[in-house]
Amino acid sequence: MTQTLFSSLSISANAMGAYQRGIQVVSQNIANAQTPGYSRRVLHLSDRADLPIGGVDATVDRASDHFFYQQSVQQQTLNSYASTKNRYLSNLDGLLGRLDGSGIDARINDLFKSFSQLANNPSSATGTSIRAQVLQNIESVAAAFNKGAQDIQNTIQDLNNNVADLMNQIKTLSSQLAEANQLVLSNGRDGQEYLLDKRDMLAKELASLTGGSVLENNMGVNVYAFGCMLVDGSQQADISTKANINTGLLDIVNYQGQPVNHLVNGGKLGAVLDLRDNVVLGFQNKLDDMAYELTTRINTAHRAGYDLNGQNNRDLFSTTATSKGAAIALKISSDVKSKPDRIAAALDKTMLPGDNRNALAIVQLGQQKLFSSGRTTFAEEYVYFTNQISNQAQKAELDAQSAQNRHDMAQEKLESVTGVSIDEEMTNLVSFQQAYQASAKVMSVVSSMSESLIDMMR
């Protein structure tokens, strides 16, 4: 009987330890209920069949679900891509899509309007002030194009700087993930719940930046990106940046120095590269094309006319020889700068100063449908251009909202398994407390019985 009592004492003490551990698990879960990436700890109780006297075995694990985790990774990656595009396109829409009369289209209209006024008064005293207004409007058109081109260049440079920042983050996260894989591999998974949570968070964040995939094997949680295993167990790939010799912008290069930009199709980095190399660069090229076309046609028309001094072959605008960089380089020509008498309104110098036919020819340029397959004028083409930006910005906003909703749903499903429910934890706390008290009561009773038995044997 003595042996039975001592066995009961041992079982009660073992049970008290198990339920005390349960209370510790509840305490930890409640403390980390709002901690990002924390997976709820779960106490597993089982019969200790390994001991003759029996008892309870308590082990702690973390709640997890591989499928929901992968869904969360995928949706966070898509959300990162969409939100990045939305932010930049919204900013560009605000810079270039001005609706307050200060945009390039308004400046172009002002220029052609002043030529129309000049055509109505080519020889009067009023004509002198109108010619000065023409020069002012030429400078305003050039300044508006310069401002638009500079805004685009600043955006491209900001995106390029972002590439460098993101690559630094990617290198840091890759190193941390490889180190976490090594620690888990060396120490085993038991008791490493914190490290396992950290490892999942690192892999998820790395995938959201690179657009990569998270893969798990016996070597750890790995990430495939840039066309290779970016992190494979405790090893990480040698991925860096290098300035492109043609553009000066940063390329992502592998260990052989070969560009791998084309292999980055998602995540924040994928969005930044697509914006920099395709979307925003396309805006820049379009603005350059418009500036070059405007300059070429107006200059050609103006060179055919005669100014008040009977001279012709003078340009109104100065810019590049080709469309590349035309918008940022556009300025008033030195031929006419501060010289209103050099505005060529006439087609026949023998009819000066009353001839207005060249001014009318320039006015007609502003009315001709020269763009978009004969559908838009110079000013209308800029409006069409900004509408395209606005449409892309609106689509990006809708895509970002949709991506955020899908991400939130995926995260909710994951947290339904791994997240902490305060109500559930309070229920567990009461359960463990009652079980602990019951075990303590059993121990107290058995201890009293043991004392009585010992007293009887004396």
- The pLDDT tens digits for 354-391 are 899 999 999 999 999 988 778 889 888 888 888 889 99
Strands (E), 385-449: none
- pLDDT band at 4; cut points 50, 70, 90: low
User: What is the reported pLDDT for 238?
Assistant: 94
Q: What is the sign of the dihedral through the CA atoms of 39, 40, 46 and 48? A: positive
Q: At residue 447, does pLDDT exceed 80? A: no
Q: What is the mean pLDDT of residues 37-42?
A: 92
Is the link from the previous residue into 353 a cis peptide, with omega within 30 of 0? yes
d(CA 31, CA 323): 62
Average pLDDT value for residue range 242-259: 94
pLDDT at 317 over 90: yes
CA-nearest of 452, 449, 435, 446 to 21 is 435
Mean pLDDT throughout 106-118?
A: 95
- Determine the Cα angle at 295 with ends 293 and 297, to 5°: 65
Question: How confident is the model at residue 96, as a pLDDT?
Answer: 79
Contact 128, 140 (CB under 8 A): no
Query: What pLDDT is attached to residue 99?
Result: 47
**Tens digits of residue pLDDT in 138-177:** 999 999 999 999 999 999 999 999 999 999 999 999 999 9
Q: What is the Cα–Cα distance from 127 to 453, expressed in whole angstroms?
A: 126
Q: pLDDT tier at 450 (50, 70, 90 boundaries)?
A: low
Is the model's pLDDT at 439 over the cut of 70?
yes
Residue 20 has which token pair? 């005390």
DSSP-derived 3-state class of residue 50: coil
* Pairwise CA distance, residues 358 & 333, whole Å: 18
Q: Please state, for a pLDDT cut of 70, what percent of the chain lies above it.
A: 91
Task: Fill in the DSSP letter of residue 350.
Answer: G
Residue-level pLDDT at 188: 75
- Measured from the Cβ of residue 436, the count of other Cβ atoms closer than 10 Å reads 18
How many Cβ atoms from other residues are within 10 Å of residue 286's Cβ?
19
Q: Which of the pair, 436 or 242, is modelled with greater confidence?
A: 242
Q: pTM of the entire structure?
A: 0.87
**Residue 407 scores a pLDDT above 70:** yes
**Alpha-carbon distances, residue 278 vs 86, 281, 427 (angstroms):** 15, 5, 56
Give the model confidence (pLDDT) of 271-309 as tens digits. 999 999 999 999 999 999 999 999 999 999 999 999 999
pLDDT above 80 for 455: no
The C-alpha angle 348, 131, 335, rounded to 5 degrees, equals 75
pLDDT of residue 303: 97
Q: Mean pLDDT throughout 59-75?
A: 93
* Pair 92, 389: CB distance under 8 Å: yes
The mean pLDDT value for 326-348 works out to 95
Alpha-carbon distance of 440 to 429, in angstroms, equals: 16
CA distances (Å), 60 to each of 18, 41, 394, 437, in order?
A: 10, 7, 49, 21
Q: Give residue 38's pLDDT.
A: 93
What's the pLDDT at 141? 96
| Confidence at residue 225, expressed as pLDDT on a 0 to 100 scale | 95
- Cα–Cα distance between 420 and 319 in angstroms, integer? 64
* 196-215 mean pLDDT: 96
pLDDT for residue 50:
61
Strands 331-332 and 317-318: antiparallel
